[in-house]
A and B are shown apart, each in its own frame.
Chain A
Amino acid sequence: MNPRELRGKVAVVGVAESDELGRLPHKSALALHMEASRNALEDAGLRPSDVDAVFTSGRNMANDVPEYLGIRPRFVDGTQIGGASFLLHVEHAATAIASGLCEVALISHGESGYSRVGMPSVRWGPDSVNLQFEQPYGVGGPPTRYGFVATRHMHEFGTTKEQMAEVAVATRKWASLNPKAFLRDPITVEDVLNSRPICWPFNLLDCCLVTDGGGAVVLTSAERAKDLPKQPVYVLGTGTCVTHQMISQMPSYSEWEAARVAGELAFARAGVKQRDIDVAEIYDAFTIVPILALEALGFCKKGEGGPFVSGQRTAPGGDFPMNTNGGGLSYTHTGMYGIFLLIEAVRQLRGECGSRQVAGARTALCHGLGGIFSSAATVILSTEPSP
């Protein structure tokens, strides 16, 4: 089967977050999975017994989640490529559904990213290559490694901290229109530049939130989707790529190779062009990430991501609506944020977004990030199976 034949064969029929998002010390990671999955199945008009495929990510979760949810999948996938995992799962789910291996796929995410309740501990051993060749130099949280890319991009292309700050400001404007967003007070470029230094070139407001929450997405065949209550949102094309795990092995620090490959695959399979995208949900772990993603995905030329996001172009009212839920920077960021890109894109395409609705949105791009620019997965969705 040619991957282009997958176009429009499978649809998203349900999306939801957990009941609450934010700081939730009273809920475990698995409880967040369960809430989100119940809500997404309700949105889809389906019961747990309809689900025959479970996709999830995180250590041992492909075993833990079906048991906790009481679902017995005949197709299961626990692929873990960080925050991009759930977009990769769309690709795998679409493939499995289109080939008849399963019929109703549940992609489930739950993470107690802030409160760490019921979270598996994942640490590299002292003889791992990470501990031998990176940890001794004081790399810690993600800012210490994402920053290498920002610094090199600034050096090669003249990208500025002000341009990075524009991303945070625009994203916060969208968050102010989303009642579920964790941070909603308006901020300025100055606020970003004057926020606490974390790891140069990042200040606090260049960095995503750390929250608890869950999200889930339900997919089925385009055929079956017609009988379900919500307007189907069709999977037009997907692409995935992984290039490295340790940041010292990143092929280039001034372009995001994994994103370029994933994006090219997704656009080719979807049969649409960049100009056809009405709304973009692009993983924003740090303000530099969307800048590199926009270049890698072909929305602008290499090196021009900084100017592209200037002048609040990605904000409400701008001509490139991006991260319309408020993104990982202001809405929520549980650790593996990718599922929330899909949830927002589907709501935008269904016209359910109220004051933050992008008028006439018909085609949306979701772009996920995993690791430290390690992996990328792109999903293009549409209101029509073959626009």
Chain B
Amino acid sequence: MAETTYRGPVPVPTPETKPFWEAAKQRVLLVQECETCGHRYFYPRPLCPRCFSSRVRWLRCSGRGRLHTFVVNHRPPKDFPLPAPYVIAIVELEEGPRMLTNLVGVDPDPKTLRCDMPVEVVFEDITEDIALPRFRPATEKPDEPR
């Protein structure tokens, strides 16, 4: 399917990150939680980056969060598939960790965007194996398909 046509960078998972990407394919967003010190973090690592414990587990996220900060990029890298300008965002997940992503489904206009606005995850299949988590402004309709 999309594998041959998608032009942007495609993540290649490593053993440590594979569960994250497999879950994303199933429309599930995962972060990790340390069972020793309670620290929750993203991106995936085999040991807790706060206490180095190996007792870390995958935590299923609600997919909700807040737009912590953002930029509106007018000069995309060569072959980036979203039309410019587009929003690159740091989202703070309800579970705590932050991730870099895109905010989609909005006018890329800084006047209409504000830090801390509620957002929710959407997944886009970019190849047969990889679905990218992006975010959009939160809808009030929790049953709407993602």
Contacts and interface: CB of A to CB of B under 8 A. Distances in A.
A is bound by B: yes
B77 interface: yes
Interface stretch (A177-185, A193-201, A339-347): A193-201
Given A148-B69, A151-B69, A201 B110 contact: yes
Interface in A123-138: 125-127, 129, 131-138
Contacts of A386: none
A317 interface: no
A138 B80 contact: yes
A139 B75 CA distance: 10
B88 to A, nearest CB: 5
Given A138-B82, A151-B71, A126 B114 contact: no
Given A152-B68, A248-B90, A248-B98, A136 B74 contact: no
Interface in B56-72: 68-72
A132 B45 CA distance: 13
Contact of B11 (A126, A156, A199, A202): A126
A153 B101 CA distance: 19
Interface residues of B, number: 39
A133 B88 contact: no
Interface in A293-312: none
B52 to A, nearest CB: 17
Contact of B9 (A131, A197, A253): A131
A132 B11 contact: yes
Interface stretch (B12-20, B32-40, B136-144): B12-20
Given A134-B100, A152-B115, A248-B98, A140 B17 contact: no
A144 interface: yes
Interface string B104-131: 0000001000111000000000100000
A189 interface: no
A140 B72 contact: no
A155 B11 contact: no
B132 interface: yes
A138 B10 contact: no
A155 B99 contact: no
B69 A138 contact: no
A271 interface: no
A141 interface: yes
16 contacts: A126-B11, A127-B13, A129-B43, A131-B9, A132-B17, A132-B21, A133-B42, A136-B9, A138-B82, A139-B100, A140-B77, A152-B115, A156-B115, A200-B71, A202-B71, A247-B100
A147 interface: yes
A147 B71 contact: yes
A266 to B, nearest CB: 27
Closest 7 CB pairs of A and B: A147-B71, A140-B77, A132-B11, A200-B72, A248-B100, A155-B115, A152-B69
Contact of B76 (A134, A140, A253): A140
Contacts of B10: 126, 136
